[in-house]
Structure 1
Amino acid sequence: MGDFHKIRPFKILAVVMATVAVVLTVISLAGPDWVSVKFYEGKLQKSWGLWWECWRVHVSFEMCVGADWLAGCAAMVFLALIADAIATIMGLWGLFVKRRLPYVLAGVLCIIAAMFHIISLIIYPVKFTAEVTGNDDNKAETAQFVFDWTYGIAWGAVIFLVGATVFFFIRVRDEDNAQPMKVMADKPTVYYQP
């Protein structure tokens, strides 16, 4: 019998999950709705993302957050996007060269991307909450704030990155073990001997 082509469904699934994570990361990076803030003044509601430091609530009041941690969160999400895109390319390359090294590198890059995401997803709510509730002016003006859909999309990217990491690291058995019904040309199996 001739050689047969091994299909690696776990690796294909890992590449698909890494690609979905790239799309979700782009949406979370570009989306303006990480936090939705409601103000007492005129029932005004504003969405806050990774790129806005200040909002003018009314003529006499402007709500601002620190630029340093906000830029740090945006940079970490951007680095996660780069690491995830390279992991996707490495996974695709692994599908064509049929070697384990590209999958391992892609898995490591997915871990790095997930860590960047998780760090930014922890820093953002902690710092935002501390700044909004710690400033007496903001507390007087802010009715409530909730984390919005783009923040949830970023957590979705983390879930897909973790799944891609697991599937990149799964080891596929050898060809002979994976195909027990393959006909052996050298020695046929004998069940009965007279």
Structure 2
Amino acid sequence: MASAGSGMEEVRVSVLTPLKLVGLVCIFLALCLDLGAVLSPAWVTADHQYYLSLWESCRKPASLDIWHCESTLSSDWQIATLALLLGGAAIILIAFLVGLISICVGSRRRFYRPVAVMLFAAVVLQVCSLVLYPIKFIETVSLKIYHEFNWGYGLAWGATIFSFGGAILYCLNPKNYEDYY
């Protein structure tokens, strides 16, 4: 620090903390997992006779080797699930871009709270879609064979968890721990 009489100004340096970088990595991983979940052909599967994704439902009768597929976008609950999941993914994308831009701009702290709020909003949307999906699936599909929620559904939960982790990391106040770095 300079003395008051020397005429030199005190320069504040905004330090990028490792927790914010980890938060940005969490957001990026959430984006990748969301992309994988949306494009996944396997949200629900059943003994090589049935699979359901966000886009189509396919059945294979036991006596035939041909799959019969139809669009799932005719069902209200599947459209709602897709809209909530895509809405959450869009918010995560915006939060990632804001977080990335905040690294390049000198005043990073100004962007921490908006990124955290966007991520919490995305988590709420995605949790709603991930709770709605199995409830409505069990209500509407006749379960004559064993069905299991597969890796596409798991990827969506992974994206939600990483988004929540990123939101928590962006909520941490850097003033409380900047002495440690």
Instruction: Give the aligned partner of residue 124 of structure 1.
Output: 133
Trace 1:43-192 onto structure 2 (pairs within 5 A). Answer: 44-53=48-57, 55=59, 57=61, 67-97=75-105, 98-133=107-142, 139=143, 142-173=144-175, 178-179=178-179
Distance verdict in 2 for CA 1:178–1:24, change over 3 Å: closer
Q: Is the 8 A contact 1:53 1:67 kept in 2?
A: no
Instruction: Give the aligned partner of residue 191 of structure 1.
Output: none
Superposition misfits of 4+ residues, deviation over 3 angstroms: 1-5, 53-59, 62-66, 177-180
Which secondary structure does the structure 1 equivalent of 2:56 belong to? coil
TM-score (norm 2): 0.79
Please identify, of 25-34 and 108-117, the stretch whose mean Cα deviation from structure 2 is larger: 108-117
Q: How far apart in 2 are the matches of 1:83 and 1:105? A: 11
Q: How far apart in 1 are the matches of 2:166 and 2:102? A: 14
Aligned-pair CA distance for 1:179: 4.5
Q: Which amino acid aligns with 2:42?
A: D
Unaligned runs of 5+ residues in structure 2 are: 2-9
Aligned-pair CA distance for 1:101: 2.6
TM-score (norm 1): 0.75
Q: How far apart in 1 are the matches of 2:178 and 2:75? A: 55
Residue correspondences, number: 165
Q: How far apart in 2 are the matches of 1:159 and 1:93? A: 23
Aligned-pair CA distance for 1:55: 3.5
Q: How far apart in 2 are the matches of 1:58 and 1:68? A: 29
Q: How far apart in 2 are the matches of 1:123 and 1:179? A: 44
Aligned-pair CA distance for 1:58: 6.7
Q: Is the 8 A contact 2:56 2:69 kept in 1?
A: no
Q: How far apart in 2 are the matches of 1:111 and 1:148? A: 25
Aligned-pair CA distance for 1:37: 2.0
Q: Is the 8 A contact 2:17 2:178 kept in 1?
A: no
Larger radius of gyration: 1
Alpha-carbon RMSD:
2.7
Please identify, of 26-35 and 1-10, the stretch whose mean Cα deviation from structure 2 is larger: 1-10
Unaligned runs of 5+ residues in structure 1 are: 39-43, 134-138, 181-194
Which secondary structure does the structure 2 equivalent of 1:101 belong to? helix
Identity of aligned residues (%): 27
